Structures are given as structure tokens and as C-alpha cells.
A = this chain, B = another copy of it.
Amino acid sequence: MALRHAVLAALLDGELSGYQLAKAFDVGVANFWYAQPQQLYAELTRLQQQGLVAGREVVQESRPNKRLFHVTDAGLAELEDFTAASARPVFVRDDLMVKVQAADSVDTATLIDQLTERAEIARARIELFEALLRRLRGDRSEEDFLRHGDRIGPYLTCLRGIAFEQENRDWCLRTVAVLEERRHTRARN
């Protein structure tokens, strides 16, 4: 059960409604996990039943009412246990990689398009993440912030998000370059 803990970790930053949480997870600005709104609403309900989060109804006039959730002491204890338990390494698991693996046997035209598009998406995310980093550290330098800041978890995970997307972008562009050169070479022969 990983989503549970991702939700708990996300709620450490303060009270959030399901909708706000969904936005954070959706943009990937949460950058350490991704989940869809439906999952989050369901998970919040479960977590509340188990007493790991508590919600309070906020009545709004010009908008639908919402429930704001925060982590309870039991939730914190659960996170503590989770952190102490060991985690297995992860793999990339990307459809694009499967396609590239098969690149020698299939038409590469659309593949090149997809890689280019993916590089662009990665670029956009890097920008987004970098803006988030700046916001998190305020006017401090990164080094200073990481040494003395109160809440560095999100900053550290965001650093990884950026590194991942950079690697992503660079690999896509490199692969496009290789595939395109081969197309031209073949065309000439």
C-alpha cells in the first residue's frame, strides 16, 4: 500500500481538500507520486475511517462545500512505520522504452514524433519544478535552505523530479537524433 502513504506525506504540508490534493497529484507537482482524483477521494475516505487523517467540513457560499483533511497522530505513527520498513528498488516502465526497444522492427516515423513530444513535456515539467524549488526556498540559497530550512522533504523530492525529467528529455532527444540519422542513411543507400 503505497498511495496511502503518499497521501499522508502530501498532507503534511497542511490541510487540503480532495480536490486540492488531486490537483497537486495531477500536475505531478507533488512530484513524488501520481494518482487520479478518484483514487484520492477513495483513499481519503479509507484513511479517515482508519483514523489516520481527520477531515472537517468547510461550508462555502459560492462554491460547493468541501472537506479539508489533515494527518492525525495515528497517521504520523503510520508514516513512521512505513519509513522504517524497507522499500524495493523501482524500474522505469515506460511505453516509450518498449517502442524504442522494438525500433529496429517497426516504422520509426511516429516514434520520432512521440519522442519529440515527450521531450517537450519533460522540458515544461522541468520549468514547473524549478519554479516550485524557487518558491520553496524563498530568497535563500539552496545550500542554506537545505541546511536550515524547516521543511525540506518536498524540496528534495522535487530535485529528483527535475533530475528525472532532465534525463528523460536528454534521452528522448538523443534517441530522436540517432533514429533520424539512420533514416537518412538508409534513404541514401
Contacts and interface: CB of A to CB of B under 8 A. Distances in A.
Contacts of A185: 147-148
A153 B91 contact: no
A156 B110 CA distance: 17
Interface stretch (A54-62, A76-84, A130-138): A76-84
B156 A95 contact: no
Interface residues of A, number: 71
A182 B152 CA distance: 10
Given A83-B110, A147-B182, A92 B32 contact: yes
A98 B32 contact: yes
A67 interface: no
A127 interface: no
Contact of A101 (B10, B89, B93, B171): B10
Given A93-B90, A171-B160, A101 B28 contact: no
A97 B8 contact: no
B97 A111 contact: no
A9 interface: yes
Interface stretch (A14-22, A43-51, A162-170): A162-170
A91 B28 contact: yes
A9 B98 CA distance: 6
Interface of A: 2, 5-6, 8-10, 12, 28, 31-34, 76, 79-80, 82-84, 86-107, 110-111, 114, 118, 121-122, 146-148, 150-154, 156-157, 159-161, 163-164, 166-167, 170-171, 174-175, 178, 181-182, 185
7 contacts: A9-B98, A32-B92, A82-B99, A101-B156, A104-B153, A146-B178, A164-B164
